[in-house]
Amino acid sequence: MSSGRSFYVTTPIFYVNDAPHIGHAYTEVAADMLARWHRQSGDDTWSLTGTDEHGEKILRTATANGTTPQEWADKLVRESWIPLLETIDISNDDFIRTTDERHEKNVQVFLQKLYDDGFIYSGEYSGLYCVGCEEFKPESEVVDGTGEFAGQKVCAIHSKPLERLEEKNYFFRMSDFSQRLLDLYEQNPEFVQPESARNEVIQFVRQGLNDLSISRSSFDWGVKVPWDDSHVVYVWFDALLNYITAVGYGQDDATFASRWPGMHLVGKDILRFHAVIWPAMLMAAGLPVPHRVFGHGWLLVGGEKMSKSKLTGIAPHEITDTFGSDAFRYYFMSAIHFGQDGSFSWEDLSARYQAELANGFGNLASRTLAMITRYYDGVVPAPAEYTEADLKVQRVVAEAVANADAAIEKIALHESLAAIWTVVEELNGYITVQEPWALAKDEANRERLNTVLYTVAEGLRALAVVLSPTIPKATTKLWTALGVEDSLGALTAQPIRSAGVWGQLVPGTTVGALEALFPRIETTDAE
Ligand code: MSP
């Protein structure tokens, strides 16, 4: 069923200098949760992720490892970045590499257009460059080094020395776009989110923009500038274009028109590239700007941004090997206010796994199915008359689905899960008060027991649907066990926005056995 809406979401494309850590996986999961939600809502959905393979950082890493940048990128993509998608259960529609021909060719098309239209000129550049950020650093982001780098100027993000570069470069007339960008932020307050990020971007652009150096000539690992092959395109200018080259820019106008513009999820450290440089590039080319750029916070370890270069990186499989991909996805999406920084700790992960997933949701599902099996030979009973307590469950379910959907619209992913969790809590409280095991002792209560167990099973049906974008594996198991496959079709085809409509679970459906959705995890330091 189509909703008539279209939704295109992207993650940043990841540098292939190293293997992924949980900070990268965090962006992937957030984009995937959104994509799955929209896909299941009948929106014409497209989700894109990929890898950023050009530039000095990758070149240096490959050289240090005694190989060519292409071979290095191929190895990292094959051995680390593609497997990550499986590790955390990502349902992306496409994966773009900046070394793909479809990308390189159309970066040149874009650049040539800007050149022909007078937005590019050549000049001299001198500045402090951070290879980690792949960016010339303004004075405000340069700090004094400490420890082994004492006495040197270092990047405030990477704490590594900056390099002074003096080159002949091509420049993009970005300064021409300051006012148009300010108008964009003003007229479309949703364009940069969250609010704190928006204010920061406005502040930055108000100071006036400089033209941007968009080529490098001291190395050749990149897309060649079409009119001067002694230069390669600046890696960020090249990378940002992936969002349009992946959906047909330059080669398939119909696909491009149907997908673009989309929305971008990015870490706050790369917000400026996406909310300032990228829309200015698009404006120069006469193309629509993205619907929205959302800057999420950082995963912190010991109070600092987690990163491989600072040796605080945790590989996603270290978590999923023990807890599984669903728990990984649920934990990061529910425990951190999306848009703010969040600290990761194993203790918090274990505690939430046990309390929320195993005891809160998993137990609810297995208890309910066990009772239907025990008291009704596995056949879902038809409800009798509803009492106020039952009607309250129905209201909670309907409100939760509506609130969760509204939160998804605002990209408040944590808020969406909090709304859904009101159903888990309501159903657990309802079972405690209704005591179906006590009702089952007396045949005179049979009708009441019918209603109570139908109510919980139907609540679980709604939960399976709205939780499926976050915990796809567990909800698929639950869906199959609820026996709804036959009567309602596949879980992924369930229209999510009408999941709160009461009464979709058909009485008479036979339920199956359900293994523990979130089994108890024995930790080595357990009692
Ligand atoms: N290649 C560029 C992006 C180009 S997009 C046209 C890049 N790559 S990256 O691999 O360094 O980072 C990709 C994303 O991972 C960024 O959004 C960044 O914010 C995110 N994260 C890296 N470390 C992170 C945390 N510790 N926490 C959350 N996200 C983090 O930048």
Report whether residue 344 contacts ligand 1, using a CB cutoff of 6 Å: no
Whether residue 138 has a cis bond before it, omega within 30° of 0: no
Segment among 139-143, 204-208, 416-420 with least mean pLDDT: 139-143
Report whether residue 98 contacts ligand 1, using a CB cutoff of 6 Å: no
Q: Pocket of ligand 1, candidates 269, 271, 312: which has the most ligand atoms within 8 Å of its Cβ, to mutate?
A: 269
With cut-offs at 50, 70 and 90, classify the pLDDT of residue 526.
very low
With cut-offs at 50, 70 and 90, classify the pLDDT of residue 171.
very high
With cut-offs at 50, 70 and 90, classify the pLDDT of residue 527.
very low
Which ligand 1 atom lies nearest to the CA of residue 269?
Answer: 19
Segment among 32-36, 269-273, 309-313 with least mean pLDDT: 309-313
pLDDT confidence of residue 309: 65
Report whether residue 299 contacts ligand 1, using a CB cutoff of 6 Å: yes
Dihedral angle of Cα 317, 318, 320, 323, to the nearest 10 degrees: 170
Question: Stretch 382-409: mean pLDDT, rounded?
Answer: 98
Strand partners, 142: 155
**Mean pLDDT, rounded, of the chain:** 95
- Report which of residues 173 and 159 the model is more confident about: 173
Which ligand 1 atom lies nearest to the CA of residue 14?
Answer: 10
Alpha-carbon separation of residue 292 from 174, 194, 265, 330, 456 (angstroms) = 20, 10, 8, 24, 39
Report whether residue 15 contacts ligand 1, using a CB cutoff of 6 Å: yes
Q: Which residues are catalytic?
A: 21, 24, 130, 133, 155, 158, 305, 308
| pLDDT tens digits, one per residue of 83-140 | 999 999 999 999 999 999 999 999 999 999 999 999 999 998 888 888 888 888 888 8
Q: Pocket of ligand 1, candidates 29, 270, 332: which has the most ligand atoms within 8 Å of its Cβ, to mutate?
A: 270
Report whether residue 14 contacts ligand 1, using a CB cutoff of 6 Å: yes
Buried/exposed 434-447: b ≥16 CB within 10 Å, e otherwise: bebeebbeeeeeee
Within 10 angstroms of residue 219's Cβ, the number of other Cβ atoms is 14
Minimum CA distance residue for ligand 1 atom 15: 24
Q: How many A from CA of 343 to the centre of ligand 1? A: 17
Q: Which long-range contacts (CB under 8 A, 24 or more apart) does 105-108 make?
A: 105/250, 105/251, 106/241, 106/244, 106/245, 106/249, 106/250, 106/251, 107/223, 107/233, 107/237, 107/238, 107/241, 107/245, 108/223, 108/224, 108/226
| pLDDT tens digits, one per residue of 282-327 | 999 999 999 999 999 999 987 888 876 666 789 999 999 999 999 9
Q: Pocket of ligand 1, candidates 17, 27, 294: which has the most ligand atoms within 8 Å of its Cβ, to mutate?
A: 27
Q: How many A from CA of 61 to the centre of ligand 1? A: 17
Dihedral angle of Cα 30, 32, 38, 41, to the nearest 10 degrees: -110
Minimum CA distance residue for ligand 1 atom 13: 14
Provide the whole-model pTM. 0.95
Return the H-helix or E-strand segment holding 296: strand 292-296
Alpha-carbon separation of residue 489 from 237, 453, 465, 485 (angstroms) = 45, 22, 12, 5
Report whether residue 24 contacts ligand 1, using a CB cutoff of 6 Å: yes
Minimum CA distance residue for ligand 1 atom 8: 14
pLDDT confidence of residue 199: 96
Report whether residue 305 contacts ligand 1, using a CB cutoff of 6 Å: yes
